[in-house]
Amino acid sequence: MTDFDLPPRLGSLTFHGPLSEARADRMIRRVAESEPATVLDIGCGWGELLLRVLEAVPGATGVGLDINAEDLARGRDLAKGRGLDERVAFVAESALGTTRGPVDAVLCLGSSQALCEPDQPHDPAAALRELRRLVRPGGRVVLGEGFWERTPTDEELARMWPGAHVGDHLGLGALVDLAIEEGFRPAWIETASREEWEEFESGYRHDTELWLAAHPDHPLATETRERVDRQRSSWLNGYRGVLNMAYLTLVPVA
Protein backbone atom coordinates (compact mmCIF):
# COMPACT_ATOMS: atom_id res chain seq x y z
CA MET A 1 0.00 0.00 0.00
CA THR A 2 1.44 3.39 -1.03
CA ASP A 3 0.80 6.86 0.32
CA PHE A 4 -1.44 7.43 -2.70
CA ASP A 5 -3.80 4.73 -1.40
CA LEU A 6 -4.40 6.64 1.84
CA PRO A 7 -7.07 9.28 2.43
CA PRO A 8 -5.71 12.84 2.12
CA ARG A 9 -5.17 14.95 5.23
CA LEU A 10 -6.36 18.55 5.70
CA GLY A 11 -5.64 19.57 2.13
CA SER A 12 -8.73 21.78 1.96
CA LEU A 13 -7.74 23.89 4.99
CA THR A 14 -5.80 27.13 4.77
CA PHE A 15 -5.64 27.55 8.54
CA HIS A 16 -5.82 24.76 11.11
CA GLY A 17 -8.73 26.37 12.95
CA PRO A 18 -11.94 28.38 12.51
CA LEU A 19 -10.26 31.43 11.02
CA SER A 20 -11.38 33.37 7.95
CA GLU A 21 -9.15 35.21 5.51
CA ALA A 22 -10.62 38.54 6.59
CA ARG A 23 -10.00 37.93 10.30
CA ALA A 24 -6.50 36.63 9.64
CA ASP A 25 -5.69 39.77 7.65
CA ARG A 26 -6.80 41.98 10.53
CA MET A 27 -4.84 39.99 13.08
CA ILE A 28 -1.70 40.10 10.93
CA ARG A 29 -2.05 43.84 10.45
CA ARG A 30 -2.19 44.40 14.21
CA VAL A 31 0.92 42.27 14.73
CA ALA A 32 2.76 43.95 11.85
CA GLU A 33 2.10 47.40 13.32
CA SER A 34 4.47 46.52 16.18
CA GLU A 35 7.23 45.81 13.59
CA PRO A 36 8.47 42.52 15.07
CA ALA A 37 11.94 41.36 14.07
CA THR A 38 11.43 37.85 15.45
CA VAL A 39 8.30 35.69 15.48
CA LEU A 40 7.67 32.37 17.23
CA ASP A 41 4.72 30.13 16.33
CA ILE A 42 3.77 27.57 19.00
CA GLY A 43 2.14 24.44 17.58
CA CYS A 44 2.52 25.98 14.15
CA GLY A 45 1.22 23.13 11.99
CA TRP A 46 2.11 24.27 8.46
CA GLY A 47 2.50 27.86 9.71
CA GLU A 48 0.20 29.74 7.36
CA LEU A 49 -0.28 32.64 9.77
CA LEU A 50 3.45 32.74 10.55
CA LEU A 51 4.31 32.96 6.85
CA ARG A 52 1.81 35.76 6.32
CA VAL A 53 3.26 37.75 9.23
CA LEU A 54 6.72 37.41 7.68
CA GLU A 55 5.34 38.57 4.33
CA ALA A 56 3.82 41.60 6.06
CA VAL A 57 7.05 42.49 7.89
CA PRO A 58 9.98 42.45 5.44
CA GLY A 59 13.18 41.33 7.15
CA ALA A 60 11.48 39.61 10.08
CA THR A 61 12.50 36.03 10.82
CA GLY A 62 10.37 33.27 12.30
CA VAL A 63 10.46 29.86 13.92
CA GLY A 64 7.56 27.42 13.93
CA LEU A 65 7.47 24.61 16.49
CA ASP A 66 5.41 21.46 16.06
CA ILE A 67 5.78 17.70 16.42
CA ASN A 68 3.82 16.71 13.31
CA ALA A 69 6.36 15.94 10.58
CA GLU A 70 3.79 16.04 7.77
CA ASP A 71 2.57 19.52 8.71
CA LEU A 72 6.13 20.81 9.11
CA ALA A 73 7.06 19.50 5.66
CA ARG A 74 4.04 21.27 4.21
CA GLY A 75 5.15 24.48 5.92
CA ARG A 76 8.66 24.20 4.48
CA ASP A 77 7.21 23.70 0.99
CA LEU A 78 4.95 26.73 1.40
CA ALA A 79 7.88 28.84 2.63
CA LYS A 80 10.04 27.82 -0.31
CA GLY A 81 7.25 28.58 -2.77
CA ARG A 82 6.90 32.10 -1.34
CA GLY A 83 10.61 32.80 -1.17
CA LEU A 84 10.59 32.80 2.64
CA ASP A 85 12.65 29.67 3.29
CA GLU A 86 15.73 31.68 4.36
CA ARG A 87 13.68 33.66 6.89
CA VAL A 88 11.78 30.86 8.60
CA ALA A 89 12.58 27.53 10.23
CA PHE A 90 10.03 24.79 10.86
CA VAL A 91 11.39 22.77 13.76
CA ALA A 92 10.23 19.36 15.01
CA GLU A 93 10.38 19.83 18.76
CA SER A 94 8.17 20.26 21.80
CA ALA A 95 7.29 23.79 22.88
CA LEU A 96 7.19 22.82 26.56
CA GLY A 97 9.86 24.86 28.34
CA THR A 98 11.25 26.10 25.02
CA THR A 99 14.32 28.33 25.08
CA ARG A 100 13.50 29.92 21.72
CA GLY A 101 12.39 33.17 23.32
CA PRO A 102 12.00 35.91 24.13
CA VAL A 103 10.85 37.18 20.74
CA ASP A 104 8.90 40.17 19.48
CA ALA A 105 5.74 38.29 18.54
CA VAL A 106 4.33 34.93 19.58
CA LEU A 107 1.55 33.11 17.75
CA CYS A 108 -0.31 30.34 19.57
CA LEU A 109 -3.55 29.41 17.84
CA GLY A 110 -5.37 26.46 19.33
CA SER A 111 -2.08 25.10 20.66
CA SER A 112 -1.73 26.33 24.24
CA GLN A 113 -1.73 22.70 25.41
CA ALA A 114 1.77 22.49 23.92
CA LEU A 115 2.94 24.79 26.73
CA CYS A 116 1.47 22.62 29.50
CA GLU A 117 2.60 19.40 31.13
CA PRO A 118 1.19 16.60 28.93
CA ASP A 119 0.18 14.33 31.83
CA GLN A 120 -1.76 17.09 33.61
CA PRO A 121 -5.13 18.74 32.83
CA HIS A 122 -4.87 21.67 30.47
CA ASP A 123 -3.90 24.76 32.45
CA PRO A 124 -4.53 28.05 30.61
CA ALA A 125 -2.85 30.00 33.42
CA ALA A 126 0.37 28.03 32.94
CA ALA A 127 0.16 28.57 29.17
CA LEU A 128 -0.30 32.31 29.63
CA ARG A 129 2.67 32.48 31.97
CA GLU A 130 4.78 30.76 29.34
CA LEU A 131 3.56 33.14 26.66
CA ARG A 132 4.45 36.08 28.92
CA ARG A 133 7.93 34.62 29.36
CA LEU A 134 8.41 34.19 25.64
CA VAL A 135 7.45 37.72 24.50
CA ARG A 136 9.65 40.79 24.80
CA PRO A 137 8.43 44.09 26.29
CA GLY A 138 6.39 45.94 23.69
CA GLY A 139 5.75 42.75 21.76
CA ARG A 140 2.54 41.00 20.81
CA VAL A 141 0.97 37.63 21.53
CA VAL A 142 -1.86 36.29 19.38
CA LEU A 143 -3.61 33.58 21.36
CA GLY A 144 -6.36 31.42 19.90
CA GLU A 145 -8.04 29.66 22.82
CA GLY A 146 -11.24 27.67 23.14
CA PHE A 147 -13.93 28.87 25.54
CA TRP A 148 -17.46 27.86 26.49
CA GLU A 149 -20.18 30.09 25.08
CA ARG A 150 -22.29 28.64 27.89
CA THR A 151 -21.84 25.85 30.40
CA PRO A 152 -22.35 22.57 28.53
CA THR A 153 -24.82 20.03 29.84
CA ASP A 154 -23.74 16.52 30.83
CA GLU A 155 -25.48 15.19 27.73
CA GLU A 156 -23.57 17.59 25.47
CA LEU A 157 -20.26 16.72 27.13
CA ALA A 158 -20.93 13.03 26.60
CA ARG A 159 -21.29 13.69 22.86
CA MET A 160 -18.04 15.67 22.53
CA TRP A 161 -14.50 14.26 22.57
CA PRO A 162 -13.65 11.35 24.88
CA GLY A 163 -13.41 12.50 28.49
CA ALA A 164 -14.81 15.97 27.79
CA HIS A 165 -15.28 17.87 31.05
CA VAL A 166 -16.73 21.25 31.92
CA GLY A 167 -13.31 22.19 33.32
CA ASP A 168 -11.69 21.77 29.91
CA HIS A 169 -12.39 25.43 29.08
CA LEU A 170 -13.24 28.74 30.71
CA GLY A 171 -15.86 31.28 29.75
CA LEU A 172 -14.69 34.22 27.65
CA GLY A 173 -14.76 36.70 30.52
CA ALA A 174 -12.79 34.38 32.79
CA LEU A 175 -10.25 33.73 30.03
CA VAL A 176 -9.62 37.43 29.45
CA ASP A 177 -9.44 38.09 33.20
CA LEU A 178 -6.84 35.34 33.48
CA ALA A 179 -4.74 36.89 30.71
CA ILE A 180 -4.76 40.17 32.65
CA GLU A 181 -3.78 38.39 35.87
CA GLU A 182 -0.82 36.80 34.08
CA GLY A 183 0.63 40.11 32.92
CA PHE A 184 -1.12 41.12 29.70
CA ARG A 185 -3.49 43.80 28.50
CA PRO A 186 -6.03 42.57 25.93
CA ALA A 187 -5.49 44.91 22.98
CA TRP A 188 -8.12 43.11 20.90
CA ILE A 189 -10.78 40.51 21.71
CA GLU A 190 -12.66 38.67 18.99
CA THR A 191 -14.35 35.32 18.57
CA ALA A 192 -14.91 32.93 15.68
CA SER A 193 -18.20 33.14 13.84
CA ARG A 194 -20.48 30.21 13.06
CA GLU A 195 -19.50 30.53 9.40
CA GLU A 196 -15.81 30.22 10.30
CA TRP A 197 -16.56 27.09 12.33
CA GLU A 198 -18.55 25.54 9.49
CA GLU A 199 -15.77 26.30 7.00
CA PHE A 200 -13.22 24.71 9.34
CA GLU A 201 -15.24 21.65 10.34
CA SER A 202 -16.31 20.89 6.79
CA GLY A 203 -12.84 21.57 5.39
CA TYR A 204 -11.29 19.36 8.06
CA ARG A 205 -13.10 16.32 6.64
CA HIS A 206 -13.78 17.38 3.05
CA ASP A 207 -10.96 15.52 1.29
CA THR A 208 -11.48 12.41 3.39
CA GLU A 209 -15.22 12.39 2.69
CA LEU A 210 -14.50 12.54 -1.05
CA TRP A 211 -11.99 9.71 -0.65
CA LEU A 212 -14.51 7.58 1.25
CA ALA A 213 -17.13 8.11 -1.43
CA ALA A 214 -14.66 7.02 -4.11
CA HIS A 215 -13.12 4.09 -2.17
CA PRO A 216 -15.92 2.43 -0.18
CA ASP A 217 -14.23 -0.98 -0.29
CA HIS A 218 -10.68 0.14 0.44
CA PRO A 219 -8.98 -1.81 3.28
CA LEU A 220 -8.80 1.42 5.32
CA ALA A 221 -12.33 2.59 4.52
CA THR A 222 -14.12 1.12 7.55
CA GLU A 223 -11.62 2.50 10.07
CA THR A 224 -11.52 5.88 8.34
CA ARG A 225 -15.31 6.11 8.03
CA GLU A 226 -15.78 5.37 11.73
CA ARG A 227 -13.23 8.01 12.71
CA VAL A 228 -14.69 10.69 10.47
CA ASP A 229 -18.25 9.92 11.56
CA ARG A 230 -17.21 10.24 15.23
CA GLN A 231 -15.53 13.58 14.53
CA ARG A 232 -18.53 14.97 12.71
CA SER A 233 -20.97 13.77 15.35
CA SER A 234 -18.92 15.30 18.18
CA TRP A 235 -19.26 18.67 16.44
CA LEU A 236 -22.88 18.53 15.28
CA ASN A 237 -24.28 16.76 18.33
CA GLY A 238 -21.83 17.97 20.96
CA TYR A 239 -19.90 21.24 20.89
CA ARG A 240 -21.56 23.12 18.00
CA GLY A 241 -22.80 26.40 19.45
CA VAL A 242 -21.32 25.54 22.85
CA LEU A 243 -17.55 25.69 22.29
CA ASN A 244 -16.05 28.69 20.54
CA MET A 245 -12.61 30.07 19.77
CA ALA A 246 -11.37 33.39 21.14
CA TYR A 247 -8.63 35.26 19.33
CA LEU A 248 -6.86 37.56 21.78
CA THR A 249 -4.19 40.03 20.75
CA LEU A 250 -2.27 40.52 23.99
CA VAL A 251 0.36 43.11 24.96
CA PRO A 252 2.70 42.39 27.88
CA VAL A 253 2.58 44.84 30.75
CA ALA A 254 5.97 46.51 31.27
- pLDDT of 158: 97
- pLDDT of 88: 98
Please state the rounded mean pLDDT for residues 238-243.
98
- pLDDT of 6: 76
157 found inside a domain: no
134 found inside a domain: yes
How far is residue 175 from each of residues 50, 145, 159, 223, measured CA to CA in Å? 24, 9, 24, 37
pLDDT confidence of 102, banded at 50, 70, 90? very high
213 found inside a domain: no
Residue 191 has pLDDT above 60, yes or no: yes
Residue 1 has pLDDT above 60, yes or no: no
- pLDDT of 4: 57
Residue 81 has pLDDT above 60, yes or no: yes
- pLDDT of 54: 98
Residue 100: how many other CB atoms lie within 10 Å? 16
31 found inside a domain: yes
- pLDDT of 2: 52
Residue 189 has pLDDT above 80, yes or no: yes
Please state the rounded mean pLDDT for residues 52-80.
97
How far is residue 216 from each of residues 64, 182, 207, 219, 228, measured CA to CA in Å? 37, 51, 14, 9, 14
* Domain count for the chain: 1
Cα–Cα nearest to 15, from 53, 48, 51? 48
* Residues facing residue 170 across a β-bridge: 147
pLDDT digits (tens, 9 = 90+) for 112-167: 999 999 888 899 999 999 999 999 999 999 999 999 999 999 999 999 999 999 99
DSSP annotation string for 126-181: HHHHHHHHHEEEEEEEEEEEEEESSPPPHHHHHTSSTT--GGG-EEHHHHHHHHHH
pLDDT digits (tens, 9 = 90+) for 7-60: 778 999 999 999 999 999 999 999 999 999 999 999 999 999 999 999 999 999
203 found inside a domain: no
216 found inside a domain: no
Domain CATH for 102: 3.40.50.150
18 found inside a domain: yes
Q: Which domain holds residue 178?
A: 13-148+166-194+243-252
17 found inside a domain: yes
pLDDT digits (tens, 9 = 90+) for 206-233: 999 999 999 999 999 999 999 999 999 9
Higher pLDDT, 5 or 69: 69
pTM over 0.75: yes
- pLDDT of 3: 53
